A and B are shown apart, each in its own frame.
Chain A
Amino acid sequence: MVTTDEKGPLTAKKKSVIIRSCDGDEFLVSESAAVLSTSLKKILEEKEDRLIHLSDIDNKTLAMVIAYLSTHADDGLSDDLKRSFDQEFVSGKEFDVLKYLVLATDTLQVTCLCYTVAKKMADIMKNKLVEWVRREFDIQNDYTPEAEAEIRRLDAWAWDDRQLEDD
């Protein structure tokens, strides 16, 4: 199924691409928006196919990314408006949602979106504990206790005000 908004029939006349999420939903996107993603641009250059299947991005995340790409491809919007859109885009989003977004930008290679999402993730990370970061970033602590103690000793200054401190 192809979903478009009311402007669908009009925009369909323009060069556009259909992108399918891993759960089968399809989105009609203008080519000018799609090529803001380095990966999509490469795919479009390599083959004529107007249907791109993304096996590791779900529909919710893809809808957000496409909304972002379409806004940034809109020549009618000033840079200031795009900047405030960016802020609005990540404000209030849970870390879980940002996780999907950052993974999607890593796959799709969208530099400006990666910047915006990474900034928001860094803001959330700032006051978190080591265990929180390990859990949220899916990090297995593979240090031996001795090795970890050694690092703590060498760069003791980096933990002296209890930021990123252990639980």
Chain B
Amino acid sequence: MEKTKPCASRKRLKQNPPLVDRLSGLSDAVICQILSFLPTKLSVATSILAKRWRFLWTHVPNLYFDGENHNIINRVIMLHKVQSLTTFRLRYMDNCEDYEFETWITIAIARNVQNLDIRLDHQLMLPRCLFTCKTLVNLTLFNCVGIPSSGSVSLPSLKKLDFYFVRYQVDKVLPRLLSCCPVLEELIIDGIVDKDLVCYDIFSPTIKVLKVFPWYNGLGNDHNVEIKINAPALRYLQLLDCVCKQISAQMLTSLIQADIVCCCFHDGRRDYYYQPVVKFIDSLCNVKYLKLRNKLEPDADFADPSESIRRFDYLMKLELAVDWRFLTKFLERADNLEVLIIREQVDGSLKCNWMKPKQVPTCLLSHLRTVRIDYFECTKHELKLVKYLLKNAKVLKRMEIYSPTHGFGFEAKFNTLQKISLFQRGSEACELAFY
């Protein structure tokens, strides 16, 4: 559709007509809309303004509690008249009885709540009726218990599920819960692993966004976490602190963007990766934008990241903070790569694994336009890489190099720049920026 851009009259420059202040003429619906963005406490406070405002707050479709005590919450909920509750948010620090908490949630559900956001300071048991709520669209739980492992679960409208520090039997409960959310689009699991063996079995034909951040209890059983993903509609995947040994993914056919932290072991000379982790990275082969980072671990089985044969045909933007063997691998297999960013690594010493590809990769000949290298310390290996890229990247437009902010003086910077600027360039149009 073509845009019709209106513009004000050019002919006459007029003043606004003398303003009769008409906000008093606003409809109750609009006033309630304004109040719906205020914490419930402030919305109740507007009852002091005038008689008309005395109970306007009771028609506001949202309830936001933040630290009020249980008597106040009880009073507000009893006075509140809305039959279709949009959002019920409870940030609760006080002590209340389980039955009170259960009453609040039950009332919210009876009032057809769509967004439920519960963040507790001390753990309370979630009522079962929560898990058969027909109207719930977004559910955020923080520090709760009681995700049912048996009995009926049905969340037919749920689109977004956020779990933060929710304790439940992951192995048993998660697959069941996901299978009862037929329209789920976004899943965030930010949780504690406190068992010997935990398997996150994430199977959903509908989720588009998945973020998993397993945290660890420091009991030394970190490696017993297993993650299995089967999500054919997934478009965005974020796996942070993913130090597990066992990770696998299937059917990531719709994936566009991924941000992965993978574990490795570093012995001073090179990095070692778990075989499943390297294989997992291969299963991301449909991504357009990939960010890959390392997390160092005390031990790991050997697997060479360059062994794999998968191609990354759609990859356009790659951000790496991992062993440079991955770099060689991606250059050789991502023919359409346009932007390459090399970030600072956990301990900087992984740069020594740069190995020239056997022949000049296709992406360098036809697609790679931008390269950015962070934390450039001017080592032999770094210079080799820069030299290789400048020489062989035929359509490169810009190379940016950032030196460390500390311990790298003006003179060293100047010498490095001088050295690099003398390197042969495969692309005449290439600009070189050194910071």
Q: Interface size on A (CB < 8 Å)?
A: 65
A59 within 8 A of B: yes
- List chain A residues, Cβ under 8 A from B69: 157
- List chain A residues, Cβ under 8 A from B165: none
* Given known A130-B48, A157-B41, A163-B45, contact A27–B26 (CB-CB < 8 A): no
- List chain A residues, Cβ under 8 A from B265: none
A5 within 8 A of B: yes
Docked Cα-Cα span, A159 to B35, in Å, equals: 16
* Given known A126-B38, A139-B24, contact A67–B5 (CB-CB < 8 A): yes
A73 within 8 A of B: yes
B8 within 8 A of A: yes
- List chain B residues, Cβ under 8 A from A14: 1-2, 4
Q: Say what secondary structure dominates the interface of chain B.
A: loop
A114 contacts B30, CB within 8 Å?
yes
A148 contacts B72, CB within 8 Å?
no
> Which size bracket describes the interface of B in this complex?
35 or more
A70 contacts B6, CB within 8 Å?
yes
Task: Produce 1/0 per residue, A88-103, CB < 8 A to B.
Answer: 0000000000011011
B4 contacts A60, CB within 8 Å?
no
B37 contacts A70, CB within 8 Å?
no
Which of B15-23, B97-105, B146-154 lies at the binding interface? B15-23
B87 within 8 A of A: no
B50 contacts A74, CB within 8 Å?
no
A155 contacts B50, CB within 8 Å?
no
B48 contacts A63, CB within 8 Å?
no
B415 within 8 A of A: no
Q: Find residues 78-131 in chain A having any chain B CB closer than 8 Å to their own CB.
A: 99-100, 102-103, 105-106, 114-115, 118-119, 121-123, 125-126, 130
CB closest residue in chain B, given A75:
B1
B358 within 8 A of A: no
Docked Cα-Cα span, A156 to B68, in Å, equals: 12
- List chain B residues, Cβ under 8 A from A30: 1-2, 4
- List chain B residues, Cβ under 8 A from A42: none
Q: Would you give the shortest CB distance from B257 to chain A, in whole angstroms?
A: 14
- List chain B residues, Cβ under 8 A from A33: 4
Docked Cα-Cα span, A16 to B53, in Å, equals: 41
A103 contacts B22, CB within 8 Å?
yes
Docked Cα-Cα span, A71 to B2, in Å, equals: 11
Q: Would you give the shortest CB distance from A83 to chain B, in whole angstroms?
A: 16
* Given known A122-B38, A125-B34, A151-B54, contact A138–B21 (CB-CB < 8 A): yes
A40 within 8 A of B: no
Q: Would you give the shortest CB distance from B274 to chain A, in whole angstroms?
A: 37
A155 contacts B37, CB within 8 Å?
no
Docked Cα-Cα span, A125 to B43, in Å, equals: 11
Q: Say what secondary structure dominates the interface of chain A.
A: helix
A138 contacts B5, CB within 8 Å?
no
- List chain B residues, Cβ under 8 A from A139: 24, 49-50, 52-53
B6 contacts A66, CB within 8 Å?
yes
B33 within 8 A of A: yes
A3 contacts B44, CB within 8 Å?
no
B9 contacts A76, CB within 8 Å?
no
Docked Cα-Cα span, A60 to B8, in Å, equals: 7
CB closest residue in chain A, given B54:
A151
B25 within 8 A of A: yes
B42 within 8 A of A: yes
B49 contacts A141, CB within 8 Å?
yes
B4 contacts A148, CB within 8 Å?
no
* Given known A58-B16, A142-B51, contact A125–B27 (CB-CB < 8 A): no
Q: Would you give the shortest CB distance from B235 to chain A, in whole angstroms?
A: 14
Q: Find residues 128-145 in chain A having any chain B CB closer than 8 Å to their own CB.
A: 130, 133-134, 136-143
Docked Cα-Cα span, A104 to B35, in Å, equals: 18
CB closest residue in chain B, given A26:
B9
B47 within 8 A of A: yes
A11 contacts B23, CB within 8 Å?
no
A158 within 8 A of B: yes
B7 within 8 A of A: yes
- List chain B residues, Cβ under 8 A from A1: 9, 11
A22 within 8 A of B: yes
Residue numbers of B with Cβ under 8 A of A are: 1-12, 14, 16-17, 21-27, 30, 33-38, 41-42, 44-54, 68-69, 72
Can you list the 7 inter-chain pairs with the closest CB atoms, starting with the nearest? A122-B37, A138-B24, A164-B45, A158-B45, A118-B33, A66-B6, A25-B9
A sample of 12 cross-chain residue pairs with beta-carbon separation below 8 angstroms, ordered by A number, consists of A5-B4, A11-B4, A25-B8, A25-B14, A28-B6, A29-B6, A70-B3, A103-B22, A106-B26, A142-B50, A157-B68, A164-B46
Known: A3-B7, A73-B1, A125-B42. 9 other contacts (CB 8 A): A5-B7, A7-B4, A11-B2, A23-B14, A103-B26, A122-B35, A137-B49, A138-B22, A140-B24
